[in-house]
Chain A
Amino acid sequence: MATMRDAVSMSRRSLLLGLSGSLLVAVTGLPGARGEGSGETAGDFGPFIRVDGDGSVRLVAPCFELGQGSHTGLAMILCDELGADWDRVTVVGPELNPALNVPGRDGQTTSGSQMIRRWRDPLRQAAAAAREMLARAAGERLGRDPDGLVIEGGWISDGTVRLGFGALVEAARRFPVPDNPGLRDRPTIVGTSVPRVDIPAKVNGMAVYGTDVRLPGMVHAAIRQAPVQGARLVSVARSAGAEEAGVLGIVEAPEAVMVIATTFWRAKTAVDALDVVFSETEHDGIATADIDAARHAALDAPEAARPIEAGDAPARIAAARGPGSGVVVTADYDVPFLHHATMEPMTCTARVDGETCEVWLPTQDLTNSAKAASKVSGVPLENVAIHATYVGGGFGRKFETDCVEQAVRAAMTVDRPVQLTWTREEDVRHGFYRPAMSARLTAAVTAEGDLDGFLMRIAGPSVLEHTIGKPLINGSDPIAMLGVGTESGKAPGKVQQYAIPDLLVEFAFQPTHVRLGYWRSVGASENGFFIESFMDELAHAVGADPYRFRRHLLRESPRALAVLDKVAVESGWDSPRREGRFLGIAFSECVGSMVAEVAEVSIEEGRPRVHRVVAAIDCGTAINPNAVEAQVLGAITMGLSAALHERITVGDGAIVQGNFHDYAVARMADTPPIDVHIVDSGAPIGGVGEAGLPAVAPAVCNAIFAATGRRVRSLPILETS
């Protein structure tokens, strides 16, 4: 491990400090910024860790903080391994540094519920190495064997004399970085619910999000983008008598026009007043019904890719259709396009001069944002700097770099920083949507409750094709398979954790012009609904209890059984139900964690009402149980919102919805009490941020079936007004 950043990066840092020294006051409240290091005696121990002369410890977080709690979780891991004092650990957001690429990936991303999973071990290694170096320095000073010293709470002691980390930094840095430092196994705060480091600034208004960056001389930009994906800007004209006050310029981009003005309000009013013509496209006549019809046709197409296959499912099902055999069930399901609707709309602040490009940004993909800024500005990547802000919601949307490109383009036209903020209308109409997908499932069930053949055809577009232009792999998109196969169950003969010897999962590619992206839990968000609704149909087809039917099929997966049993007990599955209340159950392995959920529903005036959701999650080890609970609460709330209300539709090739009146998301009154139970199995650590989402839609729909005998096979459950 390198102990210093490389020379290029060091010089860039000094350069930036020079440039932005006067800006520091303006941007306090950035992630974890709780004072600068005390200069001379501070020491970097690898790319993550800095110990200051005053003994405080700073984690340079490898990821952004979106509210998922990773800054806190990683700081906790660092603190325990280093033997630091938690009250003196601070966190700052990442800077562009390839040493902070996510292990196993070629960029600095914050996605996939991966941060704690991927970073725990490298961070522990780095912290252990720093601890050994500090211990050697203390040993030298005290004339003791470093191995015999006690390291705790930021102190190193031989039982008589104790030395603070700060006093040892300089000496410690002279030792070589140990290659294989010994890890300690003495968690003091890992596993406890310490308060999150980012929360105080989020209750007093001081946290700086992308929209809150304020820089000397900064001006604002507003944007109007082509309504139909693929359309190009043809002409822009100022309408007669339009308000000109404060307008500094009009910027034409290939797909949009921007106005730069002294305040956002002026920029927005001016952009609204422009007469803008965009080109026609071949998609201009397309509506949701056309997209749905094409996808449904793909369900019937003779050929499809076969990404997951074991045994001979078609033969088993054909046999089961014969006389005297099991029950064969088949059902089609649909889900709509969904939008992320982060509460912070898309935003980016950029400053470009001849030699450097600085970007202040909430993002989930730091590396590609820097590359995008470099490409648009023509500034070499090594002279691009990204300053992390808090992210006002990501859910996958802020993985994209569209807004960075636009802000940099705008900033190139004026010699001041420009902050581009999208209106909510731009945000809703120019998303990277969760694709509308369909599935047809067919299975044969035996009298014993085994599945003697399972067919699933998934029809729809490819997210990967839209996000990275990646062609399909053998005709299939692995993103569309998420939540069918699992991380822990890649062995053939399993769908999710269900043991099914004969199975075939097909992908029928049906492209769409609607722009697609990664939406919380990605493919699992639809596959969870498809598979778990169908499991319920199978249980009812053979007169089995849906909980016990799943139990039987999950018998080879102790972790799955544990969460399923937990949620059954906690929801009172086997207790007498309250009058008019009905339960539905669902299971999902997602991002390496096992989750089961039960929803309690009643029907009031013909409409379902969700009264309670009970969840159990096994994420292996919960670094911070309170933060795990928060993420499961959030994922269930978002999943419930989507299941009940959310749907993006297309008319004349464009997205129809534009704000929260027609893209309804759950509010307080839609959100029932949610109980989260954490099952600590000690299994390899799993992801958390997305894990709770896939099971909630099927749990609710299964409860609706229990209440009404009607099966919801198409989402959303309630039509939006």
Chain B
Amino acid sequence: MIEIIVNGEVRVITDEEDIPLLWVLRDHLNLTGTKFGCGVGLCGTCTVLLDGEPVRSCQVYMSDLGDREIRTIEGIAGGGDLAAVAARVQGAWIAEQVPQCGYCQSGMIVAATALLARDPDPSDDRIDETMTNICRCGTYTRVRAAIHRAAKGT
């Protein structure tokens, strides 16, 4: 049995196995907003926050977690230090009509929130460097616009 803190709540995982956090979120806790895209840390669809730091949850095993607090797309704007930034990011995402299929967007939004928390007004180069998530629908240009919009606070 292991206790983890997800979106501000203590959750009990009754499984002994040391498995990637992604599958605990998706299959044990039914928090399906965090997506499986590649399973090897390459695509970013599984991005979540651990104590405010973006990580690829397919590469984080339960034994790596320690007592760090997990925030997923479902709870990113609902509490924690980054809630205000996340809410602004989500608002900007709607204003710029970013998602197409939307499958990559949870990861994009989590990554963008973490970026803006660290760098409130990132340049295009900084965005390109930091936002390495894959979007097959090709929303990158609107992701960039939405990050700038969120940075301006509108």
Contacts and interface: CB of A to CB of B under 8 A. Distances in A.
Interface of A: 66-69, 193, 195-196, 198-209, 211-212, 214, 220, 245, 262-265, 340-345, 390-395, 421, 423-424, 626-627, 630-631, 633-638, 641, 659-661, 665-669, 671, 673-674
A668 B133 CA distance: 8
* Overall SS of chain B's interface: loop
Nearest to A206: B33
Contacts of A206: 33, 74
B33 to A, nearest CB: 2
A203 B137 contact: no
B37 to A, nearest CB: 5
Contacts of A669: 128-129, 132
18 contacts: A66-B101, A198-B102, A199-B97, A203-B93, A205-B72, A207-B102, A214-B32, A263-B23, A342-B136, A391-B101, A392-B103, A394-B101, A424-B39, A630-B142, A633-B141, A636-B138, A668-B144, A673-B141
- Sorted nearest first, the 7 A-B pairs with minimum C-beta distance are A205-B33, A637-B138, A202-B102, A67-B100, A392-B103, A67-B101, A205-B73
Contacts of A659: 38-40, 42
Interface in B69-113: 72-74, 77, 90, 93-94, 97-106, 109
Given A200-B94, A666-B140, 12 more contacts: A68-B100, A202-B105, A214-B32, A341-B136, A343-B134, A344-B101, A421-B36, A630-B100, A630-B142, A635-B138, A660-B38, A667-B140
Contacts of A340: 136
Nearest to A209: B103
Given A206-B33, A634-B137, A660-B42, A343 B127 contact: no
A635 B129 CA distance: 23
Contacts of A631: 100
Contact of A395 (B97, B133, B136): B136
Contacts of A424: 37-40, 43
A243 to B, nearest CB: 9
A666 B143 CA distance: 14
Given A637-B138, A637-B140, A423 B39 contact: yes
Contacts of B102: 67, 198-199, 201-203, 207, 209, 390, 392
B19 interface: yes
Contacts of A421: 36
Nearest to B74: A205
B139 A633 contact: yes
B23 A264 contact: yes
Chain B's interface size range is 35 or more
B94 A214 contact: no
A530 B38 CA distance: 33
Contacts of A204: 33, 73-74, 77, 90
B134 A667 contact: yes
Contacts of B128: 668-669
Nearest to A207: B102
Which of A66, A207, A395 has most B Cβ within 10 Å? A207
Contact of B32 (A208, A391, A673): A208
B100 A343 contact: no
Interface string B30-69: 1111111111101101000000000000000000000000
Contacts of B28: 263
Contacts of A67: 99-102, 137
Given A343-B43, A343-B104, A660-B42, A265 B97 contact: no
B131 interface: yes
A515 to B, nearest CB: 20
B120 interface: no
Nearest to A641: B138
Nearest to A218: B27
B106 A205 contact: yes
A263 B101 contact: no
Contacts, number: 180
Contact of B136 (A198, A343, A674): A343
A633 to B, nearest CB: 6
B85 to A, nearest CB: 14
Contacts of B132: 667-669
A633 B142 contact: yes
Contacts of A394: 101
A633 B143 CA distance: 12
Contacts of B139: 630, 633-634, 637
A720 to B, nearest CB: 13
A220 B43 CA distance: 22
B141 A671 contact: yes
Interface string B5-31: 000000000000101100100111011
Contacts of A343: 35, 37, 43, 45, 101, 103-104, 134-137
B100 A671 contact: no
Contacts of B100: 66-69, 630-631, 634
Nearest to A626: B97
A264 B73 contact: no
A4 B99 CA distance: 35
A667 B74 CA distance: 25
Which of A66, A205, A262, A630 has most B Cβ within 10 Å? A205
Nearest to B140: A671
A665 B37 CA distance: 13
A256 to B, nearest CB: 18
A403 to B, nearest CB: 15
B11 to A, nearest CB: 15
A668 B37 contact: no
B139 to A, nearest CB: 7
A626 B98 CA distance: 10
Contacts of A627: 97
Nearest to A391: B101
B10 to A, nearest CB: 20
A265 B32 contact: no
Contacts of B135: 343
Contacts of B34: 205
A665 B134 contact: yes
A132 B39 CA distance: 54
Given A198-B102, A392-B103, A265 B23 contact: yes
Contact of B105 (A68, A203, A638): A203
A340 B90 CA distance: 28
B143 A668 contact: yes
A208 B101 CA distance: 11
Nearest to B144: A668
Contacts of A199: 93-94, 97-99, 102
A57 B141 CA distance: 34
B107 to A, nearest CB: 9
Given A199-B99, A203-B109, A668-B144, A638 B136 contact: yes
A430 to B, nearest CB: 15
A197 B127 CA distance: 28
A665 B77 CA distance: 30
A207 B93 CA distance: 15
Contact of A264 (B27, B104, B138, B141): B27
Contact of B20 (A195, A265, A661): A265
B7 to A, nearest CB: 10
B138 A638 contact: yes
A437 B61 CA distance: 44
Contacts of A391: 101
